[in-house]
């Protein structure tokens, strides 16, 4: 079983839509959680850390559910520029990457 699992997508959504991604992790002792976005042929960029209480940054909301061992990312009012691959990263002694979820926002 992989340490971190994500639906690879792609998620094809129209502009203005709300889209949500989930990510599950296997190690209940995992300590830190992050969402990164990666554009084609670019480096991963930190989108946001994920905290137990949930956190929001503009149109982006991240949630952590330790009991069920998953984290989520909600994007509201999708923009064309949100098109990218979203990587879930979990830390337990080292960083474990999900395989990424591809998002295509269409006009």
Partner 1 sequence: DTEVTQTPKHLVMGMTNKKSLKCEQHMGHRAMYWYKQKAKKPPELMFVYSYEKLSINESVPSRFSPECPNSSLLNLHLHALQPEDSALYLCASSQDWEQGQPQHFGDGTRLSIL
- Enumerate binding residues for partner 1 (CB under 8 A): 31-32, 34, 41-46, 49, 87, 89, 91, 94-95, 97-100
| Shortest separation between residue 9's beta carbon and partner 1, angstroms | 12
Closest approach, Cβ 104 to partner 1, in A, equals: 14
Q: Which is nearer to partner 1, 70 or 96 (CB)?
A: 96
The Cα 104–Cα 76 span in angstroms is 14
Residue 16 Cβ, how far from partner 1 at the closest point, in Å?
A: 28
Question: Does residue 29 have a cis peptide bond before it, meaning omega lies within 30 degrees of 0?
Answer: no
Least Cβ distance, residue 32 to partner 1 (angstroms): 3
Q: Which is nearer to partner 1, 75 or 89 (CB)?
A: 89
User: Among residues 21 and 98, whose Cβ is nearest to partner 1?
Assistant: 98
């Amino acid at each position: 079983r992989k340490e971190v699992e994500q639906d690879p997508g792609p998620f094809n959504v129209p502009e203005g839509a709300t889209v949500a991604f989930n990510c599950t992790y296997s190690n209940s002792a995992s300590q830190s959680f992050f969402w990164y976005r990666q554009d084609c042929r670019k480096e991963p960029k930190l989108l946001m850390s994920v905290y137990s209480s949930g956190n929001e940054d503009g149109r982006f909301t991240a949630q952590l559910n330790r009991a069920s061992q998953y984290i989520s990312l909600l994007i509201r009012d999708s923009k064309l520029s949100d098109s990218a691959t979203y990587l879930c990263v979990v830390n337990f002694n080292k960083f474990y990457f999900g395989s990424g979820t591809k998002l295509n926002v269409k006009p």
